[in-house]
Amino acid sequence: MTQDKTKAQGRALPYVNFNQLRSFHAVAQELSFTRAAGVLNIGQSTLTVQVRNLEERYGVELFLRSSRGLQLSCTGQALYEITIPLFDLEAQAVNLLRANGDAIEGTLRIGTVGPFYVMKLVGQFQARYPNVQVSIDSANSETVVRKIIDAKTDVAITGSPIDDPRVYSSKLRAHEILVLVNRHHALAGTGAILLAALQDQPMIMRERGSMTRTAFEAALIEHGVRPRVVMEVSRDTVHEAVIEGLGIGVVSEPEFQPHEDLCALRIADFPSFTYSYVICLESRRQSKPIARFTELAAAIAREPVATALIDKGKN
C-alpha cells in the first residue's frame, strides 16, 4: 500500500495557482499593473497581491522596477514564454466550449500593415459573425509579425509572405501600383502611361523598406528607367506631396485616396504589383475565429479582382 501511495504521489500533477499565473501573464503582456488590471477587470491591488504571492511562494523575482518602467526579469521572461501558449490554449478551449455549431463568440485581434487591406475582410467577417468582437491594430510589417508570434495578435494582413515554420501564410490579393500626378501635370488626364514616361521625372518615393517602393524600383531597374528621386516620405504623405505639386508619387491601389487635385495613372506596358497575405500562428489555425477569418480570406482571394475606376480627369 505504501509503495502504491508513493507511485501515486510521483504521478501527481504539479500545482500552481492559476489566478496568480493569469495575473502575472497579464502584467508581463502589458508591462503595466494598471493596464493589466483593466484587461482582467480586477482591482489593481488584487492583481499586485497575486503577483507578489506568486513571487514569494517560489522565491523568485519576476519583474524589475526601475526608472525605465516595469521590465521582466530573466526568470519572468522565461515564465512568460511558457504562459503565452498556455493562455492561448485556454482561449481556444473557451472558443470551443462557447461554440454552437458554426456560431462563434469571443474576440479576434487583427493586425495589419494598413487599414486599406483589411476593411473588406473585416466587414464581411462581422456580418457573418456578429458575436465576435474585432479589434484592429495597424503597424509596420516587423511589428505585425512579432505580435503574431507572441500571440498578442490572432491574425494579420501583411505585405509579404512569412518564412517561418511557426507562421501560416496565404496570399490574399495582388494590388497594382498606381502613379499619382497633380491635376496640372502634363501627364494628367491620360489614364495610362508607359513606364519610360517617368524618365528624369521628379519622383516622390516611399521610405526604404516599403513593399510598394521595392516592387516599383524593381520594375524601373529591370527596364532601365531612371526618374529623379526628390523626396522620401511615408505612405500618408505621398498624396499630400503630389497635391502640392512637389513631384510624381506611387501608391498601391488600395491606398489610393481620391482628391480633386490628384490624377491616378496606370502603367500600361510594365505594371508592377504589391501583394497582401493573411498570416496566423500555425498552431492556432484551428481556433474557430481564426479559422473562419482565414477561410473567408481564402474565399475572397478566389474572387475575380474588380478593377477600380480611375477618372482620367479629376478624381
- Strands 262-267 and 167-182, sheet pairing: antiparallel
Higher pLDDT, 75 or 209: 75
What region does 151 belong to: left with phi over 0, alpha with psi -120 to 50, or beta? left
pTM flag (> 0.75)? no
Q: Spell out where the chain has E strands.
A: 63-66, 69-72, 106-112, 132-138, 155-158, 167-182, 192-193, 202-206, 228-233, 248-252, 262-267, 273-281
Q: 14-18, 70-74, 198-202: which range is least confident on average?
A: 14-18
pLDDT at position 231 is 92
* Tens-place pLDDT, residues 149-206: 988 899 999 888 888 999 999 998 888 999 999 999 999 988 899 999 999 999 999 8
Q: What percent of the chain has pLDDT over 90?
A: 52
Distance CA 264, CA 11 (A): 69
Residue with cell 484592429: 136
The pLDDT score that the predictor gives to residue 2 is 52
Q: How distant, in Å, are the alpha carbons of 108, 176, 282, 296 from that of 132? A: 7, 32, 21, 15
Give the residue from 185, 215, 210, 193 showing the smallest Cα distance to 266: 193
d(CA 265, CA 313) in angstroms, rounded, equals: 10
Residue 309 has pLDDT above 50, yes or no: no
Q: What is the mean pLDDT of residues 214-221?
A: 93
Domains, the chain = 12-86 (1.10.10.10), 90-172+275-302 (3.40.190.10), 173-274 (3.40.190.10)
CA–CA separation, 283 and 311 (whole Å): 46
Query: In sequence order, which residues have a C-beta less than 8 Å from that of residue 18 and are 6 or more positions away?
Result: none
Amino acid at 191: G
Residue in the structure block whose three cell numbers are 487591406: 117
| Nearest of 218, 217, 255 to residue 238 by alpha carbon | 255
